[in-house]
Structure 1
């Protein structure tokens, strides 16, 4: 098992800082006001299963690269979607250059490539950048179709 990382997330409701682990049971909530927190983490070849596939919420996977302009454009849009849908999704970012096994596993031919996974199953996939409203619609349609 890899060493688990945690991110510090500022609660949008009360402003308190919270440590959010990369992998955990349930969904992160603010320790102070108990509101859902955005769950945004990085994953690597060695911890992707634990971080992304075992999550009990749908996971939006951003397969990106540091040299990619559209990746830098879509990143803040994805973070907005993760914040807007706090408690409903988890955002997992994977740098394809540092994680060749995941890049190969998901047959990444262009970056950014976005996936929506639930319990390891790919529910949706799209390549290229899109604005936050379009990404949110894509995510919401995918996760509501899964429930239906």
Structure 2
């Protein structure tokens, strides 16, 4: 009897020790697992540019990492997509960088860890990183970051797509791509885009419809005025105002006016600098600013209205 009790105690002790060792092994494996850090930097301006840096910050290396890129248009269609670099091992503190630049600029980098991607002013980009899963190493993990035109024009950071949203997005734009945290909080426009909801855009105001547009809106109206002869510059400004509308409508009515074709409105809102922007409320001009640099700058200038 005493032997049975003694043997049972030994067996229980062995079981407990084995359990502790197993738990400790899992904890150590979890603490030492590879971690992929993603840093985003947006260079704001009339035509914003993006830099994405993928780094290994865990105790062990990222294995079999592969980056792919696709260009997004206003309808979230991938205009193209290709491999953007791969490494069998991304060691601790090593990085792979994706950087965008204007379409008419020739690449100036020779670093193998950096990939430069040319974008037209109205294009966005998505980047997917696939790598060996940290724990279940026979699986592939992925992280996808999307920077559609509506977010680019507003100088917003890209959004990270997770779970079913990542899968549905890649199914929609890059089904061939199938085989964690962004510190920037998505705006309302980004949340709508993630959910594939329609985004508000700026309305075109003319001499004949302006009064009707503002009379049916109870809040302030933000008006961007510019000339058609400015060509691509004015087109890019109007595209940015679409992003402004996506961020602030319906509280703020965003309008664009081609002053060449609407002399009455040009006389009503005169300015010697083009393009220029007017905040209009209760049939009065409450603020006017000239020149365009970026959406964040406009939001700062008109911060009393664009909150």
TM-score normalised over the length of structure 2 = 0.34
**Residue 116 in structure 1 maps to residue 283 in structure 2:** no
**Residue 133 in structure 1 maps to residue 296 in structure 2:** yes
Which is higher, the Rg of structure 1 or of structure 2? 2
If asked which structure has higher relative contact order (CA below 8 Å, sep 6+), I would say 1
From 262, 266, 271, give the equivalent of 1:103. Answer: 266
Distance apart, 1:38 and its partner CA? 2.4
Distance apart, 1:54 and its partner CA? 4.4
Question: What RMSD in Å do the two structures reach over aligned CA positions?
Answer: 2.4
Residues 113-144 of structure 1 show CA distances to partners (whole Å, capped at 9, x for unaligned) of 100111221111011112011112223x2327
Residues 21-40 of structure 1 show CA distances to partners (whole Å, capped at 9, x for unaligned) of xxxxxxxxxxxxxxxx5252
**Residue 51 in structure 1 maps to residue 213 in structure 2:** yes
Residue 81 of structure 1 contacts residue 135 of structure 1 at CA under 8 Å; is this kept in 2? no
Gaps of 5+ in 2: 1-191
**CA separation in 2, counterparts of 1:133 and 1:144?**
10
What residue number does 1:26 align with? none
What residue number does 2:223 align with? 61
Gaps of 5+ in 1: 1-10, 18-36
Distance apart, 1:45 and its partner CA? 0.7
What residue number does 1:5 align with? none
Distance apart, 1:66 and its partner CA? 1.5
Change (3 A) 1:62 1:53: farther
- 71-80 or 121-130, which deviates more: 71-80
Alignment of 1:12-23 (within 5 A): 12=193, 14-16=195-197
Residue 96 of structure 1 contacts residue 103 of structure 1 at CA under 8 Å; is this kept in 2? yes
**CA separation in 2, counterparts of 1:63 and 1:42?**
10
Change (3 A) 1:14 1:43: same
